[in-house]
Structure 1
C-alpha cells in the first residue's frame, strides 16, 4: 500500500506532468506503454515502453540537452523488457496521456534496429531513421494548426505506418513531439521523446542508414529556434529527411483495440 507521503509526492509530480505514451495499439492489439506510477508497484509491470522513472515531473528535454544520451528516449531511459509485435506495413497507434493545447509543435517518428535484443540495447548505439514527420498544417488560423493539435483532437493519439519494405527484426520506435510555445527564446524548445520496443515481422530487406540521437538536432536549427507567434509561411520539421519508404498518414480518430497483448512476441 502506498504511504501518504508517497501519494503526496506522486500527486505533486503529476501536477506538473506533460505526458507519456501510456499505450500502444498494433494491428488492433493493445499493449501497455509507460506510466510514472509503475515505480511504485511491486512487481513493476513488464512493458515494451522504455522506463523514465527519474523524470519525476515528466518535463521536457531542452536544446542544451540535445548532445546528451537522454535525447534518445528521455531522461535516464532504460529499455522496455518486452516488445510490440507488428508486421511491416502495419499501423501503430501511440496513445499519449492528455497533452496541453498550448504546447504546439511537430510530431515525429524514428526507427532504429537493435541488431539483437532491444531489452539490452545500448541506446547510444541506436541509429535513428525518420519514418514520419508532420509540423505546421495550416497557417491561416491563429498561432497555426500543428501536428500536436491533430494529435489532441484524435484522443491524444498518433498513428504511424511501419514501412512495408523494412527488414524483419527488433527495433525501437522513437516517437516525439517538440513543444514550440517558448521556442522563440534560446533554449526554449521542449522535446518529449518516447521509446517503445517493436518486433517487426515481414519479408522486406530495407535497412536504412540512420544517425545517433545526439546528431538529430542542434539548438539553432530553424525548426528548433523559432517564434511561432509570428505569421509562418512554412515550417522546417527538425531532424533528418524521412527515408524513401516512409509513409505519412492522414490522422483520424483511431478505432478501439480488439484485444490486449499477452506474452512476449518472438521473431
Structure 2
C-alpha cells in the first residue's frame, strides 16, 4: 500500500511540474522531443532548478546537443511545455552566440554571453496568481520573435519559466528551462546587449525571485537585464 501511495505521489509531483522538450518554428513544432533542444536533467522528473548559483541555470542539460534547427532573423520561435506551464510567473527568452571556433553541441555558454531577447511578464494591477496577470500561465506553448537585427550565426536559445508559487521566501522560486540549438540566417547588424552570465545574472534576493501577490501587489519586475532593444 505504501508503495502504491509513493507511486501516486511521484506521479502527482511530475504532473505539477513541466519541461520544454520541443522547439516550435513559425508555428510548427518538432515531431519528437530533444531534436534541436538539449535534453534536460528533468526529462523524467519535470523538476525545476532552485539554486541561481548552479551551473544548471545555463541549460539544465543532461547530455550534449545532437541537432541544430535553421531559422531566420524575424522568425517566430517557441517551445512546447510538457504538459503545460502549471505554475504562475514570467517566461523569458535568452540567446547566446556560439563562437565560430566552437562546437554548438558541446559549447557550455559560460561567461557574459547571454542577452535577453524577449520576456512575457506580469500585466495589469493589482497582480494575482491567475492567468489574467501572467499571460504564459497554463499555456502549452510560448513564443517570441527573433529580433531582425540579430547577426547571423549559431546560437543557443534559452527558455526560462520562473515559478513564483513558493517565492515568498528566499530560494523558493523554481526555474524551468532548456536550450535550443539554432542557426540564424538572414541576420542583421545589431549588437545584442547587455550580456550576462548564468549563473551570475540573478541573485536569490532579487525582487523578481522573492515575490508574493499577497496581501496586495501592484508591480513585478522580472530578474535579469532589460530586453535587448534591437539596435
The two structures share one fold, judged by TM-score above 0.5 = yes
In the alignment, the residues of structure 1 paired with residue 105 and residue 11 of structure 2 have an alpha-carbon distance, to the nearest angstrom, of: 27
Equivalent in 162, 174, 199 of residue 158 of structure 2:
174
Aligned-partner SS, 1:72: helix
Length-normalised TM-score, structure 2? 0.84
Aligned-partner SS, 1:25: strand
Aligned-partner SS, 1:118: coil
In the alignment, the residues of structure 1 paired with residue 192 and residue 156 of structure 2 have an alpha-carbon distance, to the nearest angstrom, of: 14
Does the CA contact (< 8 Å) of 1:93 and 1:159 recur in 2? yes
Correspondence 1:216 to 2:201: yes
Q: 1:13 to 1:196 in 2, by over 3 A?
A: farther
Length-normalised TM-score, structure 1? 0.73
Q: Which moved more, 1:78-87 or 1:185-194?
A: 78-87
The size of the alignment, in residue pairs, is: 220
In the alignment, the residues of structure 2 paired with residue 29 and residue 126 of structure 1 have an alpha-carbon distance, to the nearest angstrom, of: 31
Question: Residues 130-209 of structure 1 correspond to what in structure 2 (within 5 A)?
Answer: 130-140=116-126, 142-144=128-130, 145-147=132-134, 149-153=135-139, 156-209=140-193
Question: Displacement, 1:207?
Answer: 3.5
Gaps of 5+ in 2: 1-5
Aligned twin of 1:72: 58
Question: Displacement, 1:124?
Answer: 2.2
Question: Displacement, 1:222?
Answer: 0.5
Question: Displacement, 1:48?
Answer: 0.8
Does the CA contact (< 8 Å) of 2:85 and 2:137 recur in 1? no
- Whichever structure has more helix as a proportion of its residues is 1
Aligned twin of 1:253: none
Question: Displacement, 1:77?
Answer: 3.7
Aligned twin of 1:243: 228
Aligned twin of 1:61: 49
Alpha-carbon deviations, 1:97-146, whole Å to 9, x = none? 12354x11001000000113311212324711001112211334753534
Does the CA contact (< 8 Å) of 1:110 and 1:128 recur in 2? yes
Q: 1:141 to 1:239 in 2, by over 3 A?
A: closer
Does the CA contact (< 8 Å) of 1:24 and 1:32 recur in 2? no
Aligned-partner SS, 1:174: strand
In the alignment, the residues of structure 2 paired with residue 49 and residue 11 of structure 1 have an alpha-carbon distance, to the nearest angstrom, of: 29
Does the CA contact (< 8 Å) of 2:91 and 2:136 recur in 1? no
